[in-house]
Structure 1
Amino acid sequence: MINEYIEEVGKDIEEATKRALEIMNAVRDQVLIEIIDDKKEENEDPEVRIRVTPVDLRKRNAEEFINKIIESFKIKAEIVWEEKDDIPIMRLYGDEMGIIIGNKGKTLEALQILMSIIANKNSLVKGKIILDIEDYRKRKGKALEQLSETMAERAVETGEDVILEPMTASERKVIHNFLSKNNEVITMSTGEEPERRIVITPVRKYDK
C-alpha cells in the first residue's frame, strides 16, 4: 500500500506538482498537495516546496459502484462505513436487501469481488475492502463458528474426520481461524472450487 508522502520543489507550485506527479506516476485527483515552503525573498530565485500525499480513493470508488448497483435494482439503502484492523468495511442497510445478498450469499460474494477491483483501480492507496449487507457476514460468521464448534466436538468424540459442505473461501477462513484455537483438532481444505470444503481431523487420530 502506498501511503507515504513525498516532497518536491519547483520555481512555482505548478512545476513542483508536475515533478511530484511524474515521480509518483499519478494524476492530480489521486493526491493531496500542501505548500510547506514558499520562498519569495529578494536576491533569491523563487522556490516552492510542496508535500504530496496519496489520497485513498477506495471508499469513493466503492460507493459509486454500489450506488449504481442499488439503482439498477430499484431499491434504497443506507451506506455506513466502519474500519476494523485498518480495513474499510462498507455496510448496507435497507429494505429488500435479500436480492443483493443472494442465495447463500453468492450475490454478495460476487459484488465483493467486483467492488474490491473497482475500489482499488485508480487509487494509489490500495488494499482490502469489505462489503457487508444487513450484517449478513456478522451473522454468517457466528453461525459458522457454532457449526465448526459442533463438528469439532463430533470429530473428537468419534475419532474420525468430519467433512463439511462446500463453502466459499471467506467462509472457510472463518472456520480455519476459529478452530485454530482448538488444540484437539486440525483443519484443512480439500477439493477444487466451487466444491472446495473443510475437513476437520481429530489430533488423536494421528496418535494411534
Structure 2
Amino acid sequence: MAEIEIEGKTVEEAIEQGLAELGLPRDKAEVKILDEGANGLFGLMGNKPARVRVSSKSADGDADPAADYAGAQKKVREIIAGILNGMNVGFTEITTSLMAGRILVDIKSPESSILIGKNGQTLDALDNITNLMLHRDEAFRVKVCVDAEGYHKRQEERLQELAKKAAEQVNRTGKPYRFEPMSSRERRVIHLILKSDSALETFSEGEGAYRKVVISLKK
C-alpha cells in the first residue's frame, strides 16, 4: 500500500499535495490528519504547517481493475495519439498497462529526443495535458503516467540509488537529509522507494519549484 506523510499551509493543501504525489483520486485514498497546524502571530511569525498521512485504499474485494480501466486506457491512447499528431511527432506504438491503480503509458518514437525534451520537460508536459484531458470525463479519474522509450524508468533507477545512499546517511548520522528540489513525479518515487523502511519517514516541504523531499528517523 502506497503511503506518504506530507505538509502544507492547510490540511486541505497537504491532502491535495499528497494525492498528487501518490497519483490517487480522493475516493481511492485514506487520509489521516496528524497535525492541523496553526497560524503564527498576525499570520506572519511562528506558522506551523499542517501534516497529514495519505495512503491508498485496500483493493480487497474490488472488481477486476483491468476491466474497470479498459475504457480509460483506450481513451488515453486516443488522447496521446491526437497530441503527437498535432505536434508532428512521429510514433510507432503507444502501449498502456495498469499498475497500482495507475495507467502506465510507454511511447515508442523515432523522435524520442524531441518528445522527451530537456530534463524530461516536454514529456512531463505531455503527462500533465493527458491527465487534464482525461479527467474532463468524471468517469475517468485514474492517474496517468506517461513515459517514452523508458526515459522515466531510467530516471527512477537513478533515484533509487540516490534514495538508498541518503537513507544510509540518515541511519548512520541520525540527522535528516534534504534532497534538492524535485518534480512531483520524482518526489513520489522517493516516497515509494523508502515507504517500506520501518526506521525512516519521508515528507515533502517547500513550495512550487522549490519543493523537496526530506528523510528523517521516525520519532
Q: TM (normalized to structure 2)?
A: 0.60
- Decide whether aligned partners of structure 1 residues 86 and 183 sit closer, same or farther in structure 2, where only a CA change above 3 A counts: closer
Q: Is the 8 A contact 2:77 2:95 kept in 1?
A: no
Q: 2:78 aligns with which of 61, 64, 75?
A: 64
Q: Is the 8 A contact 2:89 2:115 kept in 1?
A: no
Q: 1:94 aligns with which of 96, 109, 121?
A: 109
Q: Is the 8 A contact 1:161 1:202 kept in 2?
A: yes
Once the two structures are TM-superposed, the CA of residue 87 in structure 1 deviates from its matched residue by: 3.1
Structure 1 residue runs of 4+, over 6 Å off? none
The yes-or-no answer on 1:195 pairing with 2:210 is: yes
Once the two structures are TM-superposed, the CA of residue 150 in structure 1 deviates from its matched residue by: 0.6
- Report how many residues are paired: 152
1:138-183 CA distances to partner (integer Å, 9 max, x unpaired)? 2222221221011111122223221101111221111112112223
Give RMSD over aligned pairs. Answer: 2.6
The yes-or-no answer on 1:121 pairing with 2:136 is: yes
Q: Report the Cα distance in structure 2 between the residues aligned to 1:91 and 1:74, rounded to whole angstroms.
A: 18
Q: Report the Cα distance in structure 1 between the residues aligned to 2:159 and 2:81, rounded to whole angstroms.
A: 30
Q: Is the 8 A contact 1:70 1:76 kept in 2?
A: yes
Matches within 5 A, 1:161-180: 161-180=176-195
Structure 2 regions of 5+ residues with no counterpart? 1-24, 26-67
Residue 76 of structure 1 aligns to a residue whose secondary structure is coil
- The 10-residue stretch of structure 1 (135-144 or 54-63) with the greater mean CA deviation from structure 2: 54-63
Structure 1 regions of 5+ residues with no counterpart? 2-53
> % of aligned pairs identical?
28
* Structure with greater contact order relative to length (CA < 8 Å, sep ≥ 6): 2
Q: TM (normalized to structure 1)?
A: 0.63
Q: Is the 8 A contact 1:56 1:124 kept in 2?
A: no
